[in-house]
Amino acid sequence: MRNGFGTRAIHAGQSPDPSTGAIMTPVYLTSTYVQEAPAKHKGYVYARGDNPTRRALEACLADLEGGTRCVATSSGLAAATIVLTDLGAGTRVVAGDDLYGGTRRLFERVFRRWGVAADYVDSSDLDALRAALDAGPTSLVWLETPTNPLLKVTDLRAACDLARARGAPVLVDNTFASPYLQRPLESGADIVLHSLTKYLGGHSDLVGGALVVRDAARAERYAFLANATGPVPGPLDCFLVLRGLKTLHVRMERHCDNAEAVVAFLRGHPKVRRVFHPSLPDQPGHAVARRQMARFGAMVSVEIDGSVEHAKRFASATKLFALAESLGGVESLIEHPATMTHASVPAEERRRAGFLDGLLRLSVGIEDADDLVADLDGAFQATYR
């Protein structure tokens, strides 16, 4: 029988070092590997191509996502770059309209020039997704669920069925959920993309990315591109992600507990207009999230009373929730998407995707829930004083 998620998060792809018995995978700080005779080696030639610490991380991630192979990269956007480079000119991506801002920038300001067109659609609306797929040949469907920053939920199985019927592979950026909460390959997706910078690293101390796939030919192409174009992760970063993965299941449970406490507080607060979180029964994607996620995640967005100025004041008034971009670390963060993470998305498109300039986004950490709620309470008092 297959071991459970927590056991695999700690052990998959890792065994004690054969030469010393070291229980932890060593950080192989080396650029090259000595060969016994020309082209006679132990499977490692040069460190851009492969590294044992990286290999352990890739094996662990492939296992946790239910894939056959993983290619780790120097950042989440490096992973995205490999996928788009593989597509090449004359292709069209149908992508969610509420994507991570940097992914959107990569589509619009880099790959459009190289002939990769992107059409955006609210993928939580399956009729709209079907229409977008039928509007032209589709080379790839690019989904995020829950989305950023509106926490909209796409039905992965239904979306993958629509794409497969039209011969289009599906990529899911699973950064917000992590494989502990959601495994897109099990719903029919072909590619999972991660920013390891977020929950998988989990401690806000590195930047990294990964692609996990099932198909061997696709894996070969991505591994080739990683080596040929060079955005590979260093061994110390790989070690740090391996260390983070060992507590992923424990951290995610606490992240979700705390997010639920924060959501309950915000929902009851008189200065709150609207809370965005998939746990809320009045959120359109709630039923789908309940089906396809183990829990609802720890990203929460909120609209508070007043103007953009009130939102900015609030974001500067929290003490435990640090004002910073990024997410998924053990510490709580707050940010203002319109001027921070999503500033590169044109205002008109932000509005079309459905978010107001006053929106705030929280990454709820694993501190004590009472302290987090008290911090938010204090920020309301400071904002409306």
Ligand X SMILES: *Cc1c(COP(=O)(O)O)cnc(C)c1O
Min separation Cβ 298 and ligand X, Å: 13
Min separation Cβ 33 and ligand X, Å: 28
Which C-beta is closer to ligand X: that of 100 or that of 239? 100
Told to judge if 371 belongs to the known catalytic residues of this protein, a careful annotator would answer: no
Told to judge if 48 belongs to the known catalytic residues of this protein, a careful annotator would answer: yes
Min separation Cβ 74 and ligand X, Å: 8
Amino acid at 274: R
Which C-beta is closer to ligand X: that of 76 or that of 169? 76
Q: Is the dihedral of CA 370, 372, 378, 381 positive or negative?
A: negative
End-to-end alpha-carbon separation of the chain, Å?
59
Q: Where do runs of H (alpha helix) occur along 27-155? A: 52-65, 76-87, 101-105, 126-134
Q: Which one is catalytic: 8, 48, 274, 352? A: 48
Which C-beta is closer to ligand X: that of 253 or that of 325? 325
Which C-beta is closer to ligand X: that of 317 or that of 359? 359
Q: Which one is catalytic: 198, 218, 295, 350? A: 198
Distance of CA 247 to the CA centre of its chain: 17
Which C-beta is closer to ligand X: that of 189 or that of 317? 189
Which C-beta is closer to ligand X: that of 91 or that of 195? 195
Min separation Cβ 321 and ligand X, Å: 17
- Comparing C-alpha atoms, which of 359, 329, 304, 352 is closest to residue 241? 329
Q: Which one is catalytic: 28, 100, 120, 180? A: 100
Told to judge if 173 belongs to the known catalytic residues of this protein, a careful annotator would answer: yes
Element (H, E) at 304: strand 299-304
Distance, CA of 76 to CA of 208 (rounded, Å): 6
> Token match 């400071």: residue?
382
Min separation Cβ 241 and ligand X, Å: 11
Q: Are 175 and 100 in contact (CB under 8 A)?
A: yes
Min separation Cβ 148 and ligand X, Å: 5
Which residue's C-beta sits nearest to ligand X?
A: 76
Q: Is the dihedral of CA 80, 358, 350, 299 positive or negative?
A: positive
Cα-based distances in Å from 59 to 55, 62, 70, 102, 242? 6, 5, 7, 27, 10
Query: For residue 91, which phi and psi values (nearest 5 degrees)?
Result: -115, 165
Binding residues for ligand X, per CB under 6 A? Answer: 75-77, 100, 102-103, 144, 148, 173, 175-176, 195, 197-198, 207, 209
Told to judge if 222 belongs to the known catalytic residues of this protein, a careful annotator would answer: no
- Comparing C-alpha atoms, which of 69, 66, 68 is closest to residue 54? 69
Q: Which one is catalytic: 50, 63, 155, 173? A: 173
Distance, CA of 147 to CA of 178 (rounded, Å): 13
Which C-beta is closer to ligand X: that of 66 or that of 102? 102
Beginning with the edge strand found earlier in the chain, give each strand of the sheet holding 140-144 in spatial order. 69-73, 209-213, 191-195, 170-173, 140-144, 91-96, 116-121
Min separation Cβ 84 and ligand X, Å: 13
Q: Which residues are catalytic?
A: 48, 100, 173, 198
